[in-house]
Every structure is written in C-alpha cells, then in structure tokens.
Amino acid sequence: MDNNRSFYVVDIQEHEVRRYKIGDTQGTVVAGGNGAGNRLDQLYEPRYVFVDRDYSVYESDRSNHRVMKWEEGAKQGVVVAGGQGARKSLLQLDRPNGVVVDQLGTVYVADFGNHRIMR
C-alpha cells in the first residue's frame, strides 16, 4: 500500500503488477502487462512488489532473474539488479523473491536460488 492508500497486486499468471485505488474493480497495470517475456516492457512470473515514496514500483521478476524499477507512468522498466541469467556471481540473481528499498534508495533482494540477501 502506498501513501495514497493504493494497493498493489502481483499477478503471476498475467505477468503484471496492478494498482488498485479505493473503489477500483479493474485496477491499472503499472508494470508488465505485455505477456510473458524478457523485454523491458515485460515480466515473467513476477513475485513481490515494493512501492517507494515517489510511487516507483520495484518488482522481483523471478523467471527473468532480475529486479526492475518502474517509475510512475512508465511504459517500461529499468533493471536495477540481476538480469544476466541465474548464476551465483555478485551481479546475478537466481529466482529473486522479496524486494525492499530503504529511504536512501538502496535495494535489498532475497536471492532465493542463491540463499542470500543482496544489496
């Protein structure tokens, strides 16, 4: 939930993140929504979402092994972690799950497949 009391839902089947404002029944796609894939406007089995104070959406894109940031109103995201396949190097993730961003903008990721927390 963000400061405007909007609620965010990850839809694994539709490969998208939706924002619901109070009273909404359909919601608005804020990340993905272009089918499964690895382009910057696509997600592949997103899992977790975090919304910062600027209403940017961070989502763990599990099967693309990356975390993406989608600024409010963006049509495509930016890879902020991972994205080079599932490996153990410090630049790669393996099935990322939880994602949190602190007040300084530091991204923390639960790197499920590598059994570690990445910053």
The whole domain housing 97 covers 7-118
Residue 2 lies in a domain: no
Residue 70 lies in a domain: yes
Domain of residue 63, CATH code: 2.40.10.500
Q: How many domains does the chain have?
A: 1
Instruction: Output the pLDDT for position 56.
Output: 97
Token pair, residue 58, equals 């961070």
Residue 1 lies in a domain: no
Residue 43 lies in a domain: yes
Task: Provide the 10 A C-beta neighbour count for residue 111.
Answer: 23
Token pair, residue 72, equals 């409010």
| pLDDT tens figures, 3-52 | 899 999 999 999 999 999 999 999 999 999 999 999 999 999 999 999 99
Q: Count Cβ neighbours within 10 Å for each residue of 25-54 and write b for 16 or more, e otherwise.
A: eebeebbbbeeeeeeeebbbebbbbbbbee
For the cut 90, the answer to whether the pLDDT of residue 105 exceeds it is yes
> Which of 51, 55, 66, 53 lies closest to 10, judged by CA?
51
Residue 80 lies in a domain: yes
| pLDDT tens figures, 40-97 | 999 999 999 999 999 999 999 999 999 999 999 999 999 999 988 888 888 899 999 9
The pTM score is 0.93
Residue 54 lies in a domain: yes
